Amino acid sequence: MAKLPINPFDKQKTVAENRRARFDYFVEDRFETGIALTGTEVKALRQGEGSIAESYAHVEGEEVWLINSHIPEYSHGNRLNHEPRRPRKLLLKRREIAKLHGAVTRQGLTLVPLSIYFNGTGRAKVELALARGKKVHDKRETVKERDWKREQQRLLRHNG
């Protein structure tokens, strides 16, 4: 019997996903964080626009910031529009921030956003991961494993 993926977060509508992060990093721990947005940013996300492909999170003192995420300007926002690549504050509890800060400084881990989504109550959330970078040989192993699984499925479809 195949293992079901463990997804403890209530994802109703996924807006942006960082698929490259699972290839470049070993994901060790995941956090669901809120994100401080302006009105036009929320409207642009509700339209399904946004990218977190090159983004990362950074701990500064008692705050965590999402850096280099791109939420395009809202088309009807006129002069009240937002800056597309501004740093956005992530909302976490103090204990979680301390845990993240310790892991980043002591263990050399990286904070990588995996996805931006809306939960069941309509709030924008960021799935943030503590991740360890993969070496080149680890990436090759991941590609080999993925290709072998694809080949297995193809063989089962044709022979089974």
At 147-160, the pLDDT tens digits run 999 999 998 888 86
How many domains are there within the chain? 1
- Domain-located, residue 42: yes
At 40-59, the pLDDT tens digits run 899 999 988 889 998 999 99
- Print the domain residue range for 129: 13-134
Cα within 13 Å of Cα(9), Cβ side: 22
The pLDDT score that the predictor gives to residue 35 is: 93
- Domain-located, residue 79: yes
Q: Which CATH number does the domain housing residue 78 bear? A: 2.40.280.10
Percent of the chain with pLDDT strictly greater than 90: 39
The pLDDT score that the predictor gives to residue 137 is: 85
Q: What is the pTM of this model?
A: 0.78
- Domain-located, residue 31: yes
- The answer to whether 118 touches 16, Cβ cutoff 8 Å, is no
- Domain-located, residue 147: no
| Alpha carbons 160 and 158: distance in angstroms, whole number | 6
- Domain-located, residue 116: yes
- Domain-located, residue 126: yes
Residue spans of beta strands (DSSP E) within the chain? 13-17, 25-35, 56-60, 63-67, 88-91, 110-118, 124-133
- Domain-located, residue 71: yes
The pLDDT score that the predictor gives to residue 8 is: 66
- Domain-located, residue 87: yes
Residue 7 banded pLDDT, cuts 50, 70, 90? low
Whether 143 shows a pLDDT value over 70: the answer reads: yes
Cα→Cα distances 57→35, 82, 101, 110, 129, Å: 12, 20, 11, 8, 9
